[in-house]
């Protein structure tokens, strides 16, 4: 059996629903330890993190991934048990197959192959950073590990993240940056009352309707040429008591903006709150920052990944910054070059998540080729 496929199956078999790891990192650590990696487990609260390094000097190349997965959803809707990897029609099915246990397995087999072939010629160090807190709040994962590495003055030069970036086939898309994320919960305060006596109440739905309409149309243009424009989306809107004869006393809404580096979080806050104030609304607002945007403007890692993909697939990858946030947002402030490359993302977080079996071996070969280009 192909070694990347075999390891992916072993990882899928462990029910590591975030923030659980269920021994995935210990399995990886034992594999890496046999090829002379130094192993450090860095648990923070209920989150497991692994930091493994090979070599003593030179620039540091890091593979970054996560061992946690999202919940399965209704198990009865899966064609097979999500934690019993199943091969069907050339695909491997199971939770985490594409996001991102396949990539983590490919990290390991790529490193094993690279060290076996180039052990005497390696000019630099290799790191593997894994967390079980990527699909969750991401509070005790990569952010905490990076804080620890910063205290040691441990500098990461290149970071390749195994997020499932590909659209139709392996390597057709890589990510060279990500948008930032900021959200808020807003409570519009009215006065509850009998629906037959509106003069004795203040209906927050009526009061806020125009403001909500204006807020929903907010957008900010990207000036970098590398990102989509920043657009606000309202994700939840709730009011009412459940009774048809009661004017509600409040309305709550949640919104989120995925924004480019051209737009600051302060600009977003001011724009939203100015609209609320212009309608003389009584409100409470709480802002939550999900992460800063980042863009890799350096070229050595991008070029190496691009050439590795071209040499093994004949594809020239599209370089994008779309999609959600990733743990790259915690690495970017260190100054490291960041590229994301992983499996086809069509089935991630869905019932019957799967990955093309041949893609697992190909991904491992691409990762190994990147190592060869940067470290020999």
Catalytic residues: 68, 134
Query: In sequence order, what are the residues at sequence separation of 6 or more whose Cβ sits closer than 8 angstroms to the Cβ of residue 33?
Result: 39
CA proximity to 163, closest of 225, 96, 108: 96
DSSP-derived 3-state class of residue 213: helix
CB count within 10 Å of CB 217 equals 10
Kindly tell me the number of DSSP H helices and DSSP E strands found in the chain: 9, 20
Residue with structure tokens 């990510």?
A: 175
Residue recorded with tokens 């403001």:
211
Return the HEC string of 260-287: CCCCCHHHHHHHHHHHHHHCCCCEEEEE
DSSP track, 84-111: S-EEETTEEESTTIIIIIHHHHHHHHHH
Q: In what order do the strands lie in the sheet with 91-93?
A: 86-88, 91-93, 354-356
């Amino acid at each position: 059996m192909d070694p990347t496929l075999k390891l992916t199956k072993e990882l899928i078999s462990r029910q590591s629903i975030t923030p659980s790891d269920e021994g995935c990192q210990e399995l990886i650590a034992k594999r890496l330890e046999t090829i002379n990696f130094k192993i450090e487990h860095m648990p923070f609260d209920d989150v497991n993190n692994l930091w493994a390094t090979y070599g003593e000097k030179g620039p540091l190349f890091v593979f970054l991934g996560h061992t946690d997965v999202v919940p399965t959803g209704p198990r009865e809707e899966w064609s097979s048990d999500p934690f019993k990897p199943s091969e069907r029609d050339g695909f491997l099915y199971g939770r985490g197959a594409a996001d991102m246990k396949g990539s983590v397995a490919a990290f390991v087999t790529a490193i094993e192959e690279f060290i076996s072939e180039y052990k005497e010629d390696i000019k630099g160090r290799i790191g593997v950073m894994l967390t079980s807190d990527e699909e969750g709040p991401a509070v005790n994962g990569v952010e905490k590990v990076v804080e620890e590495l910063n205290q040691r003055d441990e500098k990461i030069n290149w970071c390749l993240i195994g997020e499932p970036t590909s659209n139709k086939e392996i390597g057709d898309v890589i990510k060279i940056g990500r948008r930032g994320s900021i959200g808020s919960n807003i409570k519009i305060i009215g006065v509850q009352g009998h629906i037959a006596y509106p003069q004795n109440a203040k209906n927050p739905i009526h009061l806020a309707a125009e403001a909500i309409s204006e807020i929903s149309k907010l957008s900010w243009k990207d000036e970098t040429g590398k990102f989509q424009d920043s657009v606000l989306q309202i994700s939840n809107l709730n009011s009412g008591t459940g009774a048809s004869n009661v004017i509600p006393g409040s309305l709550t809404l949640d919104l989120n903006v995925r924004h480019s580096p051209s737009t600051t979080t302060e600009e977003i806050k001011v724009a939203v709150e100015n609209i609320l104030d212009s309608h003389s609304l009584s409100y409470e607002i709480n802002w939550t920052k999900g992460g800063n945007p980042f863009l890799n403007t350096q070229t050595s890692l991008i070029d190496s990944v691009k050439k590795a993909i071209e040499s093994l697939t004949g594809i020239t990858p599209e370089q994008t910054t779309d999609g959600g946030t990733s743990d790259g947002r915690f690495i970017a402030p260190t100054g490291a070059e960041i590229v994301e490359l992983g499996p086809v993302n069509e089935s991630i977080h869905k019932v019957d998540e799967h990955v093309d079996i041949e893609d697992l071996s190909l991904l491992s070969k691409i990762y190994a080729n990147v190592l060869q280009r940067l470290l020999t």
